[in-house]
Structure 1
């Protein structure tokens, strides 16, 4: 079905003009545009076809073969003018793009342009355009490329022009001649593929009628990208050279759809050849009034029928693809902006660099403060477990405290039911101690730590922290032994002197050092877990505030030494606390020590008197016992001096140990973790701050956040692409 010429021209000029204005912006390199592309082998008659369609007398001289794509646009306009420009290819450098875009040739008359076109083309090919595109002046010799990805754009406007835009690409060739190489053959084929692969392109496959169609490679390429044949229109040229009846029949079969059919079909045209002189198109088309061509459908032969069909196809594809085109441009703008945002703000000079890094530092400190305050609603990023810093540290600390309470001592104390660590509580006989809320909570915390892989240190983390942290996961901590009495006896017998009812004060120091010898390893494991957790938080927080990998990697390298130094300070503080507890003379001003020691002594006397106590009724509901005063005086008789001293040592060590343990746990958390690692002025959380950024030397600043050449180039391309696409969007919406 054909569409009236007037309908085509008058119904959609604005729509077609919009697409051509997009071509002016070179938007085709970003978004496929509706277009007609003429493709074919060299010597297939492409130049003659273009002349017939556009009225522009393309030369048939093989030395002036097409070495770049040529876009020919004709518009009906009251102004009579011709503009010739060069659009840079998709892989053009910024320098080359500016160089070719600066080219512009203008003529004030379409008639004058057509009369002088051959001379103009020779001038373009041998001088200005060649130089701009970087092509050789002489195809067979000289420096420069043989073919170019740049596009020569010829726009003809006038009151008598038909509305049509066609793109001509270099012809495919199989034999290297005139200075061409196999690489040139590949480049031309790739160029053709790039033009015909888009769904918005109508492929005008130019096929000489006097050559077996099976030998035409262009149809094979079209099949690769248009397997259904819905976008490929066959244009059969040179019918005057088909003399054999069998060959003529084969051509007729193609036009009538009997052989290798295409959805858009085939057209048979005769163009002005190199020796046709100045014959009018109507004279050339007289051939179609003769056998066997006279029997072909009139809408399938001749240039007028082809031009009408091409206009119809151009309108149809433009109408159909316009909404998709609008959406594609919008999506590309969004994608470009997203990628541009990922590069961060521009940082070409020191001011931009310092401002950029300062904003990152400010955001980092905001997240650090929120993480320390458990203000996880401050930002969605706190959905990551690694960023829930204070929660992870408290969980690790609770497990550490429980481990300490349960197993930090070397030997279990005797059960005298009055210790600071275990107050006697009435518990029902059927109560399962394993299911107490405290036990369940600790078990849950251990499961959380296992899930957070606190003890699973990655190779990269180990490379950075290996000299600071203890090996994780730790070896199994030895279970406390039950030979306390025998051990105290050995310690006493091996260290007693000339004492009379007393013992050497150093004995308590020795016993406490032995009883607390696991404190050091357990504390280092605890500190290591906290340091690994903080280290992971800082790394995760930096990833969240500085998504650009190059800048983040340089920033991490810049602060890593300070981080490690502060981890070492915290570990040294913990080591100092361990040394103070284990090496100093046991001493405390805590009144609970005297209270617990008195309770222990009273308990021992009570246990000695219990066998001699007599029931004496009830008072206030409680059973009362009577004890003879003389029995009290004799209660300790029968115990040797050594036994009494061992009990005294046990009770002193017992009362002091648990007071020291509670004090130590608090001190490790408050002085080593909270002060050195979390909130103190030398906390690693305060390494990366705005003050740190302000004090950076310009060279350091450039190293950390200075943009690489590739980033600068990418940013420049994205900015230009967004600008072009935004202008395209305005054109499409107006």
Structure 2
């Protein structure tokens, strides 16, 4: 014998109250605009045109809905039913911004169906006039009906599908209706209430295909068959109504209704229900389960299904609202504090300047503790681009790399001529052809130093050139004396590329520094683009413009001595290097001459003289001493290269630029600004104020919604009943359909179709879901 499902009166009242409170909580979330942010549990009603969808809603609400042939509705209608001692109806247009436009309510004293229908029709026409570009309105027509015999229920009615355009329904309308339906049906939190007509061939009704698109396993779908009076004793619709049609088997089952006929438009709701009851007493329907037929059973069934669905969805809903609150709080934080008064504006700019000064100082000192310096990428990966944010943010490390590149480029490409001296008779030619030696992590910066290679000049050719210049520039010096003017002239020629290389280096470091400041301000200011642009335009860009001019002037200052001045090398070092080169040359020359003499037969004086001519500074060059000129030039070049490189790095880049970065925006600067200047920099734009107000309003709604949801928080059971359910789910997940059908046939329990699927909703296995419902 089946167990009784009858509840004591007090328990029934308590259950009804809980159902009402929970459903009204979701309605409150919707009225707060939360539905625009997260998907709320709801029942959406879909069906083909002429499927009897409007008649179903009328029967559920006991309210006559207006309809005009040829009008393609392009918005959703929310129907809310609530229990009340008296009857009333309220029509509201809820806009996309959650604003509401209320139409005059109707209560028991003026509840005229014709008048009510006219008001609803006017509301529909008003909404149709403001359809968006895509032909679909974001607004919702909200109809709330109260009465003593109403169940607590909320439905969202969508326009009916149609396949062919007519004189009154365009081809564009087909896509509009589909697009609107897809938007609602795709929401995983929605129950889909599918309406099909028993009057028409089931295969010609397209709503099933659209349902399968969004709910392929039928886990969140309930079907309703209308116009049951057209269904015969052998109709396919009877198999469908028993939920035995494999293609259309829904977890929430099917329900059967009888609609008003065309000549019953004026009969009362009671008469309509009586005619339906009479039909279901006929042989065709008499043995059909009472809870699966008739409008009264449908109201209760939908109310219970929505309640169970909302209760199960509540933990997910709470978590989604929490995530949205966190996201909005982060957006609000990026906007910074509200500011309108001079004090608020100055405080806002002072806060920015303090953080900027601190982080800029950390950057040039190499203290990379703040989150600003540590991006998601890893420097060790070796895949960072030269302009990646992490490299730009760690400014000291980057400037050191650039200085390394600058020095190496100066060392290997700074000279205009590479002297080809295979025998090392005058100098170590290996130094002249040394390729740049960079760590792999630094090589990527070479692209910013586009410097041509030195020109290769044979030593003999250069000696002859200097001989020629010495002849032209002879003065009153004694024969064999060094012409220092020639050495200075050759140095200037050899160092002629220094300016271009140093200019490239200064430009690269300046650009990198500006990118660093841009990134730092973006980090500090966040999404306040107006303040960012104002500070960049009025403070940062002028700073770097001034620094570029200063650095150009500093470069000219550091070059002036090498371009126009007289050499002033440090004497001890200069003498030491010259002496070292002299000893090295004498050693190499003596050894080479010795080897040549030993390899020859005894030499005549003329042969020995010819061999002496093969060496730099040989017999006929003694008068000009050209080798000595070159050696003086090279020693002066090497000493000057180090000094010039250090001066560019320290006196120019470091002193004139890098150390000045924290002063771009510092608190003392803000203190010295007039109120008007502060306002120009950080005054809040109207759109930012609007964005802050919108975020604050949304946060208020979300927090209020979260508090409402917490009142209905579901606590997981820990007793034996829960263990039984979990064990049943674990055991039956892989149960075959045949085994389950056998268990169903032998079971004495009666299955409540709208509760068994919801109890395990979302497992992905309908058999396991049904089995779990039995176990629980």
TM range (shorter): 0.7 to 0.9
Query: How many residues are treated as equivalent by the alignment?
Result: 645
Residue 328 (structure 1) aligns with: 320
Contact preservation (8 Å) 2:483, 2:629 = no
Report the Cα distance in structure 2 between the residues aligned to 1:225 and 1:598, rounded to whole angstroms.
89
Report the Cα distance in structure 1 between the residues aligned to 2:506 and 2:93, rounded to whole angstroms.
64
Secondary structure, aligned partner of 1:210? coil
Note closer, same or farther for the CA distance 1:151–1:539 as it changes in structure 2 (3 Å cut). closer
List runs of 5+ in structure 1 lacking aligned partners.
423-432, 458-471, 612-637
Residue 560 (structure 2) aligns with: 579
After the TM superposition, which residues 225-304 of structure 1 pair with which residues of structure 2 at under 5 Å, given as runs?
Answer: 225-240=214-229, 242=230, 245=232, 249-259=235-245, 260-263=247-250, 264-273=252-261, 274-275=264-265, 277-278=267-268, 279-280=270-271, 281-304=273-296
After the TM superposition, which residues 129-140 of structure 1 pair with which residues of structure 2 at under 5 Å, given as runs?
Answer: 129=123, 133=127, 135=129
Contact preservation (8 Å) 1:82, 1:154 = no
Note closer, same or farther for the CA distance 1:656–1:173 as it changes in structure 2 (3 Å cut). closer
Alpha-carbon offset, residue 328 of structure 1: 1.6
Contact preservation (8 Å) 1:411, 1:482 = no
Note closer, same or farther for the CA distance 1:486–1:407 as it changes in structure 2 (3 Å cut). farther
After the TM superposition, which residues 138-537 of structure 1 pair with which residues of structure 2 at under 5 Å, given as runs?
Answer: 148-157=137-146, 161-174=150-163, 181-240=170-229, 242=230, 245=232, 249-259=235-245, 260-263=247-250, 264-273=252-261, 274-275=264-265, 277-278=267-268, 279-280=270-271, 281-342=273-334, 359-382=351-374, 384-401=390-407, 404=410, 408=414, 410=417, 443=437, 445-450=438-443, 453-457=444-448, 472-478=449-455, 482=459, 489-500=467-478, 506-537=485-516
Contact preservation (8 Å) 2:340, 2:683 = no
Contact preservation (8 Å) 1:75, 1:163 = yes
Report the Cα distance in structure 1 between the residues aligned to 2:68 and 2:418, rounded to whole angstroms.
105
Report the Cα distance in structure 2 between the residues aligned to 1:598 and 1:476, rounded to whole angstroms.
27
Contact preservation (8 Å) 2:372, 2:393 = no
Report the Cα distance in structure 1 between the residues aligned to 2:674 and 2:238, rounded to whole angstroms.
80
Report the Cα distance in structure 2 between the residues aligned to 1:549 and 1:284, rounded to whole angstroms.
64
Report the Cα distance in structure 2 between the residues aligned to 1:174 and 1:57, rounded to whole angstroms.
27
Alpha-carbon offset, residue 449 of structure 1: 1.9
Report the Cα distance in structure 2 between the residues aligned to 1:146 and 1:521, rounded to whole angstroms.
63
Residue 379 (structure 2) aligns with: none
Secondary structure, aligned partner of 1:162? coil
Secondary structure, aligned partner of 1:20? helix
Match of 2:701 among 724, 727, 731: 724
Alpha-carbon offset, residue 221 of structure 1: 2.0
Contact preservation (8 Å) 1:350, 1:701 = yes
Alpha-carbon offset, residue 406 of structure 1: 6.3
Report the Cα distance in structure 1 between the residues aligned to 2:48 and 2:584, rounded to whole angstroms.
113
Contact preservation (8 Å) 2:488, 2:633 = no
Report the Cα distance in structure 2 between the residues aligned to 1:389 and 1:706, rounded to whole angstroms.
31
Residue 28 (structure 2) aligns with: 21
Range 311-320 or range 362-371, more displaced: 362-371
List runs of 5+ in structure 2 lacking aligned partners.
376-389, 592-617, 712-776
Note closer, same or farther for the CA distance 1:26–1:730 as it changes in structure 2 (3 Å cut). same
Contact preservation (8 Å) 2:256, 2:294 = yes
Alpha-carbon offset, residue 10 of structure 1: 5.0
Alpha-carbon offset, residue 494 of structure 1: 3.0
Cα deviation 1:104-126 (Å, max 9, x = unaligned): 5445x5x447x424312313433
Report the Cα distance in structure 2 between the residues aligned to 1:539 and 1:42, rounded to whole angstroms.
59
Contact preservation (8 Å) 2:66, 2:121 = no
Alpha-carbon RMSD: 4.8
Residue 567 (structure 1) aligns with: 548
Report the Cα distance in structure 2 between the residues aligned to 1:402 and 1:322, rounded to whole angstroms.
66
Note closer, same or farther for the CA distance 1:334–1:3 as it changes in structure 2 (3 Å cut). farther
Alpha-carbon offset, residue 56 of structure 1: 2.9
Alpha-carbon offset, residue 728 of structure 1: 0.9
Cα deviation 1:539-585 (Å, max 9, x = unaligned): 44344345549555776566446524522431342233223212212
Alpha-carbon offset, residue 33 of structure 1: 2.0
Secondary structure, aligned partner of 1:74? strand
Residue 426 (structure 1) aligns with: none
Cα deviation 1:384-422 (Å, max 9, x = unaligned): 22222223323333454455556755577999x9x9x99
